[in-house]
């Protein structure tokens, strides 16, 4: 009678390190302002620190050959990236 060997991954396992309790935070919408708030398990508003929003966009550009009166000519294309940030993080 042969015995099936243990899967190779179980030979690499180690005990988990000690875990810490992470507080429960819940996102909610303030009915008066329609702004998202984060509240803790006791219903208190939590400030998550300095953070802002930003937008990034890639605008493609291209050229067509000639003036359209005839075929041929070279084409070219590239893109321009824009980045806008509405809030800078506070320095240390």
Is pLDDT at 91 greater than 70 in this prediction? no
- Is residue 31 situated within a structural domain? yes
Which pTM does this prediction carry? Answer: 0.34
Q: What share of the chain is helix, strand, coil (3-state, %, to 5)?
A: 5, 30, 65
The residue with greater pLDDT, 12 or 67, is: 12
Is pLDDT at 34 greater than 70 in this prediction? yes
- Is residue 69 situated within a structural domain? no
What is the domain range of residue 32?
23-48
Percent of the chain with pLDDT strictly greater than 90: 10
- Is residue 44 situated within a structural domain? yes
- Is residue 42 situated within a structural domain? yes
- Is residue 66 situated within a structural domain? no
Count of the separate structural domains present in the chain: 1
């Amino acid at each position: 009678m042969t015995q099936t060997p243990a899967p190779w991954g179980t030979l690499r396992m180690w005990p988990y390190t000690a875990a810490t309790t992470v507080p429960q935070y819940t996102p909610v919408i303030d009915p008066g302002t329609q702004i998202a708030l984060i509240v803790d398990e006791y219903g208190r508003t939590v400030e998550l620190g300095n953070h802002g929003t930003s937008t990034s966009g890639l605008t493609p550009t291209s050229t067509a050959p000639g003036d359209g009166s005839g075929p041929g000519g070279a084409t070219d294309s590239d893109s321009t990236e824009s980045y806008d940030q509405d809030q800078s993080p506070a320095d240390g």
